[in-house]
Structure 1
Amino acid sequence: MGALKKQYSGAPKKLILYEKCINFAKEMFEISEEFPDGIVRDLIKKSAAAILTNTAESRATMYYAKEFSHLNVAIGGISQIKSLIEIALVRSFITFGQYNQIDSDATELLKMSFSLIKRFKENVGNAEVNKWRIDDFQQSNLYNRSIDLMQSIYYLVDCIEFDISLKEADKAYKIAVNTPLLIASGIGQFNMKVRINKFNQVQENLRGLKILVERFQDLSYEHRAYLNNIEECRIQVVKLLNNYFGRLTSSNKVEQAK
């Protein structure tokens, strides 16, 4: 697919998906504006903007490889939004009804993006296209356990916010949010290199968490349970992540053998 050139590029405004992305971005900006958590709010806006711009660029480019790349980034952004609104639901920033509506809208964008990618069958071998599939991260034990880890971190920091610096609290919050976010966008990726890169970032995040938690060892006895819960969740996420890496490696070896 590398240097294959399209016969023509199109205007983004004529793409139904693009129009839906505009409305979705407006919805995300509006609903997140009142979120008390600036980290979640900014990430939602950033992801919504990435979905819109990459959808537009996929339409405007003259090369199939670039179109695929932009659509893939947009799909990753949609997965991030789906993860972020789940975090917003868990933290009571939105109602269950709002969550269902946004998740439904995001799922529609995913389906439309997948439909556009399937057009590449005309330009590459069917066998290659058939390998372009992604898993539902919301059904993944790895992702769901990372949400548990996020909650454990927030519980601890909210309880001890006056005993740690703002810098430490901010770092803990970022690790809490970015871990499930990176996992969601990694699982929701067609591009294997991008997926592995996301998971490597998760590993780095978890190492940073271990170092950060070690600084909290002098906390009072009543907070020790929170620390223990964080470490238990962290270890489980590490094991599940290693298992996922193992399956990716095994699958890749099978494909190469063919």
Structure 2
Amino acid sequence: MSENLLIKDFKTLKVWQKANAFEQEIGILAKGFPAYEQYRLTDQLVRASRSIGANIAEGNTQLFIKRELFHANAALGSAGEVRNHLLSAYQNGYLHKEKYDSLDAKVVEIIKMLHGYIKRLKLEIKNDSDFSDF
């Protein structure tokens, strides 16, 4: 291997850092949900929140920008899924309005950051002559 091999570190991405902090907050929150929701809403919410950061990390570790873009888009979908599950939790009385609003605002911020990340990746693809054949 080349001594100058660049290894991208997803942990340096602000969007991953926000997603990771959000995932930790959801994990704590989900412990307070009713036991009968463990394999339903709780599991879905935790998995979707974990999927945001996991997809960012997986994509950022890819060799090809188009693969990174694919995973960033998957993270975006997971963020939308989280918003849906948070709304369900609120509607079922598992969250107070203030907590729901706070968490929803955090997901919206992550979504906006993902949009910016995706836009940057698209520009990289457009400006990289190595991708002209793809």
**1:81 and 2:82 equivalent?**
yes
Which residue identity does 1:121 align to in structure 2? Answer: L
Per the normalisation by structure 2, the TM-score is: 0.83
Deviations 1:8-33 (A, max 9, x none): 55201111111111100001111011
Q: Tell me the matched-pair count.
A: 119
Structure 2: tracts of 5 or more residues without a match? 128-134
1:29 aligns to 2:27 (yes or no): yes
By relative contact order (CA 8 Å, sep 6+), the higher-ranking structure is: 2
State the AA in 1 paired with 2:18: K
Task: State the Cα deviation string for residues 75-98 of structure 1 (Å, max 9, x = none).
Answer: 111000000000001000000000
Computed over aligned residues only, the root mean square deviation of the Cα atoms, in angstroms, reads 1.6
- CA distance in structure 1 between the aligned counterparts of 2:7 and 2:119, rounded to whole angstroms: 17
Q: Sort the Cα spacing of 1:51 and 1:10 in 2 relative to 1 into closer, same or farther, 3 A.
A: same
**Distance in 1 separating the partners of 2:62 and 2:124:** 17
CA displacement 1:41-88 (0-9 Å, x = unmatched): 000111011111111112111101110111111111100000000000
The one-letter code of the counterpart of 1:16 is K
Contiguous gaps of at least 5 residues in structure 1:
1-6, 126-258
Distance 2:33 2:20 in 1: 21
CA contact (8 A) 1:75 1:113 kept: yes
Q: Tell whether the 8 Å contact from 1:9 to 1:61 is kept in structure 2 after alignment.
A: no
Measure the CA separation in 1 of the matches of 2:6 and 2:71. 17
Point out the structure with max Rg over C-alpha: 1
Classify the secondary structure of the residue corresponding to 2:32.
Answer: coil
CA distance in 1, matches of 2:59, 2:76: 12
